[in-house]
A and B are shown apart, each in its own frame.
Chain A
Amino acid sequence: MRPLTKIIYLLISILLVGCAAPGAVKKEASSQLNSICYKLFTDGGINSYGHCNLSQQWKNSCAFAYAYDGKRGACGWVSATRLRDDMCLFDCLPTKTELGASAIAICQEMADKNRINASCKIYAFDYDIVYGKTENVDFQ
């Protein structure tokens, strides 16, 4: 193999591995997600959830939703960039609710298509896994 080809392969490998999920996240996700969704959640590379997390400029840049009916699972994710208002000058990104809701909508479409009898729930915002965790709620 020629040196230039080696360098190109090395750069591609770094790009793909560099976008992937951190070890602790992978460990937690492996115990909760099915194999396809686990791959979708942890993979790096162009247009992947890992890439969305790596290229994020803001908190809550990506959301991942997951449904599991006890046998089969479905999932979906969305990036804030996809939901950005390109015609505004400031505050152009979606709210956290809009981001999460869009991920749920995409996931549910997938679940319905595959006849998975379960509701999609938010699995993570970025690589912050919230699935199955109860948040503290106080008066406002």
Chain B
Amino acid sequence: MSTFSKSFILLFFFVTSVFSSECDSLKNKVLANQSLSTDDITHIRNKVSTDNICFQNLVGIMRYLGNYFPKDELKAANTFYKLSLKNYPEAQFNFAMTTTKRLDQIPDDVLTYIVGIYYKYASDGNRGISYSDNDSEISILAKNLGVKYINSLPALKKKCDVNSNCTKEIKNLNAKKIKVIEKNFYEAINNASKEIGNKRFNMAQESKEQANTIFLVLSLGAAAYSLTSSYQPYSANTQTVITDQCGGWFKCGFEWNPLDLKQF
């Protein structure tokens, strides 16, 4: 690989990581309701024009909240939808978030979509020592969103009493129907969990078996070496053949003995 190619790859990773962290810090500011400088806004607008997905998602959030951009929930939802088609996890989650606030949706469909996100991103997230305190895994957030949505259904139904733009599924909600929706949601989550759990468990089992096999092969190799290296040929006249070679693993240790010290 030429020096130019190497430099290009390094530059690419540097630039993308800087842009993503920059975008994340601005997003945190927006979500924490902190004020942004004029330079920040100009920077965001410039980045959006370069088709940067993270910044487009950020503008979607800002548009939805009416933060530095004119409030337009539908346009924001469209932005999230378009980015979802590009498989951007945050946008897929945000699109789900917008649907949970809308009255023109069918609750079962919204929850099916949420369970889909829960399943899709189950393996994406922090592992081991990098576990963080806050739940930043998209799948856990999706599950929490589903629970929150079910809890908000009575309020959505109430809004429908004064709003004509509602689906009949929300308009006709009652306590019994909400219970059924909740039951279906948890059943779907548990079916997805079963698949996620089994997949992980089987993978762990396989890896443990492989590790055991490798350990066994190494142990057998070490045992074979120690046996063969300590083998002394037996002669018919009961005399032991003495060779110049080292007398075995435990007796001599390694061959390297520059000072010719006695070995034990």
Contact = CB atoms under 8 A, between A and B. Distances in A.
- Are A and B co-members of a single complex? yes
Interface in A121-135: 121, 134-135
Interface stretch (A9-17, A43-51, A79-87): A79-87
Contacts of B94: 139-140
Given A96-B131, A97-B122, A135-B144, A121 B186 contact: yes
Contacts of B122: 95, 97-98, 101
Contacts of A106: 197
Interface stretch (B168-176, B199-207, B231-239, B247-255): B199-207
Interface string A88-108: 101111111110111111101
B200 A94 contact: yes
Contact of A92 (B90, B127, B140): B127
B260 interface: no
A34 interface: no
Interface residues of A, number: 37
Interface string B143-169: 111011001000000000000000000
Contacts of B204: 82-86, 94
Interface stretch (B8-16, B38-46, B104-112, B188-196): B188-196
B78 interface: no
Contacts of A82: 201, 204
Interface residues of B, number: 55
Nearest to A65: B193
A91 B137 contact: no
A101 B27 CA distance: 29
B interface majority secondary structure: helix
A interface majority secondary structure: loop
A81 to B, nearest CB: 9
Contact of A108 (B118, B190, B211): B190
B193 A104 contact: yes
A134 B148 contact: yes
B211 A137 contact: no
B213 to A, nearest CB: 10
A118 to B, nearest CB: 9
Contacts of B148: 134-135, 137
B129 A58 contact: yes
B81 interface: no
B127 A140 contact: no
Interface string A62-92: 0000000000000000100011111110111
Contacts of B75: none
B138 interface: yes
B187 interface: yes
A96 B126 contact: yes
A87 B210 contact: yes
Interface in B23-73: 31, 57, 61, 64-65
